[in-house]
Amino acid sequence: MKVARLHGAGDVRVADEAEPVAGSGEAIVRITAVGICGSDLHWYEESAIGEAALTAPLCLGHEAAGVMETGPRAGQRVAIDPNLACARCDTCVRGLPHLCPNVRFLGHSTTDGAMRERIAWPERALVPIPDDMDDLAGAMLEPLGVAIHALRLAALRPGDSIGIFGAGPIGRLLIRLALASGASTVVATDRLPHRVEAARSDGAFAVLVDGGRELAALQEALGGRPLDTAIEIAGEADAVRTAALLVRPGTRVVVAGIPVHDEIELPASLLRRKGLDLRFARRMNRVHEEAIALAGRIRPAEVVTAVYPLEAAPEAMAQAARRAGSKVVVRPAP
């Protein structure tokens, strides 16, 4: 079968490899769609993400859908839950498997991902998707789940205003989710003009980041009122600062973006003076069923702006790294 592997920064190669062999409790899944996430781009651009560094060629991709080819559920279309928690540690027992210190995650560290024609993966982590959901939407359930989890942490209530700072694919899904959840006002920012326009089409009042000058436009749009809550999904310290400046005292800011470097500067005096609660979002926590239920309303496949075959995975990664559109998807074995 064909597999796309990252060999170093900007170096993706497609080659033939042996077919996977299913272990105990696993099934073979033919991958029909896999999205390129912002975390994949960290691997691609920096050969690392956070404390994890590339030590051997890695198959990327954790936003995936496919068809089971083995086992009693053969023929069933599924979304892949990329998070394999140990289910035994105190963190898992407390209902936080996405924070499991022993987790194996698809396309991360030494666990190969889904940018290949087939994969062996535990059946318990293969989530059935409805017949009327296409493969692109199935793959987008994972980023939609990330957005659902972040919005839960933001504690948005009907009638609240919210800021979404970063209008990439997850930012766009957050805008749609916030409006579907009853937000009265959604404001958003991004550094890229086409993403600002996309955020506007999703229903947000969106402006281009402009060295801090965007604050005046946002405050005017809010009528001088502070935001009730905010989510940073840009991976930039400036976005956290903008969120902190615009929210009301005593509320929270959710930090969901992944910065290029593993350290970010925070405006300590501003955060302290406002008594803000910083919540850090990591991946998602058991929200596939909710994501499936909301997919018809949120239409996650609409954030996909480019689709490539597996043979063109190097071009797909380069396209995603240019941030020329929104979500790029690879279709290994449609």
Q: Does some domain include residue 289?
A: no
Known catalytic residues are 39, 42
Shared domain for 324 and 275, answered yes or no, is no
93-119 pLDDT tens trace: 999 999 999 999 999 989 999 999 999
Shared domain for 209 and 123, answered yes or no, is no
137-177 pLDDT tens trace: 999 999 999 999 999 999 999 999 999 999 999 999 999 99
Shared domain for 193 and 272, answered yes or no, is yes
| Burial group, residue 146, by CB count within 10 angstroms (0-12, 13-18, 19+) | buried
Angle at 253 between CA 279 and CA 196, to 5 degrees: 125
Stretch 292-320: mean pLDDT: 97
What is the predicted pLDDT for the residue at 212? 85
| Sign of the C-alpha dihedral computed for residues 139, 125, 286 and 78 taken in this order | positive
Beta bridge partners of 111: 108
Shared domain for 96 and 164, answered yes or no, is no
What is the predicted pLDDT for the residue at 74? 95
Q: What is the CATH number of the domain that holds 42?
A: 3.90.180.10
Q: Does some domain include residue 135?
A: no
Q: Does some domain include residue 134?
A: no
Shared domain for 201 and 105, answered yes or no, is no
Q: Does some domain include residue 285?
A: no
**Amino acid (one-letter) located at 302:** E
Shared domain for 150 and 268, answered yes or no, is yes
What is the predicted pLDDT for the residue at 261? 77
**Is residue 332 scored above 90 in pLDDT?**
yes
Q: Does some domain include residue 293?
A: no
Shared domain for 255 and 174, answered yes or no, is yes
Give residue 218's domain range: 144-280
What is the predicted pLDDT for the residue at 270? 92
28-87 pLDDT tens trace: 999 999 999 999 999 999 988 878 889 999 999 999 999 999 999 999 999 999 999 999
**Is residue 13 scored above 80 in pLDDT?**
yes
Q: Does some domain include residue 100?
A: yes
Shared domain for 198 and 112, answered yes or no, is no
Tell me the whole-structure pTM to 2 decimals. Answer: 0.94
Shared domain for 260 and 322, answered yes or no, is no
Q: What is the CATH number of the domain that holds 187?
A: 3.40.50.720
235-279 pLDDT tens trace: 988 999 999 999 999 999 999 998 877 778 888 999 999 999 999
- Compute CA 334 distance to the chain's CA centroid, rounded to the nearest angstrom: 22
What is the predicted pLDDT for the residue at 274? 96
Q: Does some domain include residue 72?
A: yes
Shared domain for 118 and 156, answered yes or no, is no
What is the predicted pLDDT for the residue at 4? 98
Domains held by the chain: number: 2
Shared domain for 148 and 275, answered yes or no, is yes
181-239 pLDDT tens trace: 999 999 999 999 999 999 999 999 999 998 888 999 999 999 999 999 999 999 988 99
Shared domain for 230 and 308, answered yes or no, is no
